Amino acid sequence: MHKFQRPGHRSVTNGPLMNYPRTIIRHDHLEVSVCLLGQTIQHRQQGVTAVIGRDHDGNKLGRIHFELDYMALENAHAARKPLNTNTPTMRNISVYIIAFNEAEKVAATIESVKWADEIILVDSWSTDGTPEIAARLGAKVVQVDFKGFGDLRNQAIAACSHEWIFSLDADERCTPEAEREIRETVNDPKAADAYWMPRRNYFMGRWIQHSGWYPNYRQPQLFRKGFMTYDLKPVHEGYILNSTQPIGHLRNPIWQFPFKNMAEVMHKSNRYSTLGAEKIKHKKLSMGSALTHGIWAFVKHYIFKLGFLDGWAGFVIALGNFEGTFYRYAKAVEMQKGAEWKAPEQTARHL
């Protein structure tokens, strides 16, 4: 080792200071030696560390001098243990985001989870540039043919590589408060295997407080990989918990922006009612039952879930639930009727 001597100090390479802590670190062709310089412990001085690097051929690369806590080094050396033994193990987190033609929303969603160790965007062949935006922001893009939301989420879980998974939809945003709580939770040795995440919705220029939209749990959104999967229902998929522990509850909500305009309200109602009709088409149904279920959906959200306290936004939410429910049942009836509802092959002659 190179011999370095500071005025007023003994050399580190000979004399009684030879027993002070020294570490040799090698990485590729770089060798770094770290040694303590200083006087005896009774002087309570801070030590000076000389860091000397040499390449593979033995040529000196340079050295750096900086101050260390002499007392801490001496005590640690005497105890033969690291200076800090209480550093907690930081758990890695994968975030998966499911999306389809969400170019206007996906960037903000990804930016809100840039703190994660891995971001997976599970896309179903979007045509509006969604996967390209995600890739530019550093997300790993996985293309999955859409066979229902349950299958889509199971494919997303399979693509995640870390112990903990945080599920986020393209219209959701993680807040700094939620991030901190997630980090604290996954690093807690007593953490549960899955957690509900509250969601705060913004619609028609206001935060929705009622209407069944708060805390608006959908499925546990934070969970350990291998402890939760989803059933294969095409929409409003259920979760399957593979744990004996109860599901925990996080306190800090994420944000959701479910509709950018009224056209999207109608578009989602149409899409989800079509998917939902597949789930109930085996039941005994009629147009009368479709109307009854639709009316109940409106009353439940507007009256019993206090949607009227959310102003016009609450009314639109209740009306949207009426339409989505009514058309879900009406489309299921249509599937059952089949040929009965089809147009005749030729126009009948009227006398």
Domain extents in the chain: 15-79, 93-256, 262-338
State how far the Cα of 183 lies from the Cα of 174, in Å rounded to an integer: 12
pLDDT at site 233: 80
Alpha helices for 37-162 (secondary structure H): 70-79, 106-111, 130-136, 149-159
pLDDT at site 13: 42
Please report which helix (H) or strand (E) contains residue 168, including its range.
Answer: strand 164-169
pLDDT at site 351: 52
Burial group, residue 39, by CB count within 10 angstroms (0-12, 13-18, 19+): middle
Beta strand 118-123 with 140-143 is parallel
Residues in Cβ contact with 131 at an 8 Å cutoff, skipping those fewer than 6 apart? 121, 123, 141, 143
What CATH code is assigned to 93-256?
A: 3.90.550.10
pLDDT at site 59: 53
**Which of 318, 122, 125, 120 is CA-nearest to residue 211?**
318
State how far the Cα of 181 lies from the Cα of 188, in Å rounded to an integer: 11
pLDDT at site 73: 43
Ordered per-residue pLDDT tens for the chain, 351 residues = 444 444 444 444 444 444 444 444 444 444 444 444 444 434 444 444 444 444 445 555 554 444 445 455 455 444 444 544 455 568 999 999 999 999 999 999 999 999 999 999 999 999 999 999 999 999 999 999 999 899 999 999 999 999 999 999 999 999 999 999 999 999 999 999 999 999 999 999 999 999 999 999 989 999 999 999 999 887 788 999 999 999 999 999 999 999 989 999 999 999 999 989 988 999 999 999 999 999 999 999 999 999 999 999 999 999 999 999 999 999 999 999 987 888 887 765 555
Tokens (6 digits) for 244: 């004996």
State how far the Cα of 32 lies from the Cα of 34, in Å rounded to an integer: 7
pLDDT at site 15: 45
